[in-house]
Chain A
Amino acid sequence: MHDGDAIALGLALESGIPFAAVHEIIRQQRRDLTLIGPISDMAFDQMIAAGTVAKVIAAWVGNVAGGSGYGFRRAYEQGQPRRIVMEDHSNFTVGLALKAAAMGLPYLPTFTGLGGDIVRSHPRIRPIDDPFGGPPLLAVGALRPDVAIIHVQRADPQGNAHLWGNLGLTVEAAYAARRTIVICEEVVPDAVIRSDPNRTVIPGFLVTAVVEEPGGALPSSVQGYWRRDFEPFLSYHRISRTPEGFASWLREWVLDLPDRQAYLRHMGAPTSERLRVTDRRLAAATNFAP
């Protein structure tokens, strides 16, 4: 990760948000980042409030549990701790922008958003004529992240990644990005991946780095591994209402903790036991015999 990078994360919407990576980016004091995502939940708010972000390209920035993202509001309304540029999208248009890059195209056409203000004088969305004579369309220009950070259940050492449950825009972002970082609950032998190739959403040759970081998405959920912990979203919403409140949250949950293992210890064993999924609801076996 470099200062000034455009980073796509939080692509599965409310699950698999790579909070461990988000907090490490804040600890390393990266600057002038561009954040890319659909509905970002509080990860974007934390990075903005910590001063790491210059620009946001997203459909929604806030706190899904609480509504407003106060860090985002302070940056946008008052330039605190720094001014940010907002490129507003809908979920569909930010998805099409990533998909166009993933397909190696300059743009993709759509008619979502016509008649509304998002697409009016938008830097990445322009009106176009349908070359086949149909009604007017919009062209959504390609968006290529420098880095996509993806949290998955399991990957092999080459980065071939199995993800199930919510996908959102995970696949489009991984295909579009110049570099893709896969964070997984478990690194598994490649035989596990090859046993179910339809579940591989990212082929390893697209992956720059694989990181084994169990619990790295908490307090967001990871299907089959972790339930969502609702309380930290609400308490962050309350405490981040003031800059002082945010600063104390930042010290307690990011700056005073060296890494994710320390975060999990700080969270406490009873909480982590409550959130860890121990039930089994296994998919039916799938026969790939040739």
Chain B
Amino acid sequence: MTATYNRRELMVVAAAREIHDDEVVFVGMRLPLLGFGLAKATHAPNAVGLFENGVIRDQPAETFIYTMGDPPNIAGAVACLGLLDVMSLLQQGRVDVGFIGGAEIDPLGNLNTTRTSGSGWMIRLPGSGGAGDIASLAGRTVLIMEHEPRRFRERVDYVTSPGHFPGRRRGGPATLITTLGVFDLSGGRVRAASLHPGVTARQVREATGFPIDIDDGVAATKPPSAEELAYIRHADPQGFWTGDAVKAG
């Protein structure tokens, strides 16, 4: 018997599986925030989460939060430090894994959230926030993206969050979780690790604006368990982050 679930929920589960027990995690917003809570509730009870506003938590917030700055994310935190304190820990190499999203990605895992002319005219995007720092300094990064051809480009217009490049001091993109599958980026190219149930290799190739490695026998992403789904629906009761209408990044 398989419970029904949507792709957002599957992406949260895939994000949670990227967190190992005892790791220090630079948590992003949206799906990774739920992924951190899910990992804590299941296989990674000792993981610790850092937020760029300076908050350090070893338990998810008690109630739903829209932003990392919401009062329930402060109550019960283990520490509220400054932004430079958590960025210093990141630069020092104390963070095992960080989550980031982007509007555009290229085969080296470079992410663009600054500006793009992909649609034929220039569009200004909000900018880096902490993403460029996480991409530069975390032990490894997990990227979360909508899988659409206009977002998967041979070259991004602007590298906001650097991917693999010669001379990188540490880390770099390890895994890419999209609306269509989970991809391994650790080798400096995009290789399918699993495709979400029902997704074909052809669909992925058509949605990717550059060549992508997909083995014939590529696995299907393991669906969420009943326990995992129960956690997600408890943490996001209205489907604010995991409803079908929301974006991933």
Contacts and interface: CB of A to CB of B under 8 A. Distances in A.
Interface of A: 12-15, 38-39, 58-62, 64-65, 67-69, 72-73, 76-77, 86, 88-92, 95-96, 99, 110-118, 135, 164-172, 220-221, 223-224, 227-228, 230, 277, 281
A116 B68 CA distance: 26
A104 B68 CA distance: 31
Given A14-B69, A118-B160, A168 B126 contact: no
Interface in B160-213: 160-162, 165, 167-169
A178 B110 CA distance: 38
Contacts of B52: 13, 38, 91
- Say whether chain A's binding surface is mostly helix, strand, loop, or mixed: loop
Give the residue among B69, B81, B123, B124 with the most A Cβ atoms within 10 A.
B69
A125 to B, nearest CB: 12
Contacts of A58: 127
Nearest to A56: B127
B55 interface: yes
B123 A228 contact: no
Contact of B126 (A60, A118, A171): A60
Interface string B70-105: 110011000011111001001100000000000000
Chain A CB within 10 Å, residue with most, of B83, B87, B160, B169: B83
B53 A95 contact: no
B66 A228 contact: yes
B159 interface: yes
Q: Choose among A92, A99, A230 the residue with the greatest number of B CB atoms under 10 Å from its CB.
A: A92
A65 B66 contact: yes
Contacts of B221: none
B141 interface: no
B235 interface: no
B136 A115 contact: yes
Interface residues of B, number: 49
28 contacts: A14-B53, A15-B70, A60-B129, A62-B125, A64-B66, A77-B123, A88-B128, A90-B130, A91-B133, A92-B84, A92-B87, A92-B90, A92-B91, A113-B132, A114-B162, A116-B132, A116-B136, A116-B159, A117-B114, A118-B132, A165-B74, A166-B55, A167-B81, A167-B82, A168-B83, A172-B84, A228-B69, A281-B75
B137 interface: yes
Nearest to B130: A91
Contact of A116 (B83, B87, B124, B160): B160
B169 A111 contact: yes
B136 A112 contact: yes
B45 interface: no
A207 B127 CA distance: 31
Given A92-B87, A95-B84, A117-B160, A135 B169 contact: yes
